[in-house]
Amino acid sequence: MENIIYNELRCRGYDVDVGSIYRTRASDGKRERIGCEVDFVANRGNERVYIQSAYRMDGDVEKRERRPYLSLKDSFRKIIVTMDGGKRRYDVDGIERIGLIEFLMDSESI
């Protein structure tokens, strides 16, 4: 599934990278560095889109896929592409969820 998304992004003219996001957390007087990974950081000109891919969104998977987005403090689009996604929708944090088929079929999905 990730290869399909990567190839589609490249066909649409995006430069694609993997994003590692780090934040610090203080606990017991110590600071620790916590890392998260975004599957794709797609750039085209001054446009940037963050994309996570997940086969299914249930239980811990949803928390894991959303965690990097909650650490990002910019206003670029944040999308989760899933096989069981169905119609496009947004959650309360502004994270967009879209099904793989809709992502591929709609050239305006990103």
Which residue carries 């446009």 as its tokens?
Answer: 47
Decide if pLDDT at 50 tops 90. Answer: yes
Phi, psi of 51, deg, nearest 5: -135, 130
Q: Tell me how far apart the alpha carbons of residues 57 and 61 are, in angstroms, rounded to a whole number.
A: 6
What DSSP string runs through 21-41? EEEEEEETTEEEEEEEEEEEE
Mean pLDDT of the region 59-65: 80
Looking at residue 107, the DSSP 8-state letter turns out to be T
What pLDDT score was predicted for residue 67? 79
What pLDDT score was predicted for residue 23? 60
Q: In what order do the strands lie in the sheet with 15-27?
A: 15-27, 30-44, 47-54, 77-82, 96-99, 89-90
What pLDDT score was predicted for residue 9? 95
Decide if pLDDT at 81 tops 90. Answer: yes
Q: Tell me how far apart the alpha carbons of residues 100 and 81 are, in angstroms, rounded to a whole number.
A: 6
Decide if pLDDT at 87 tops 70. Answer: yes
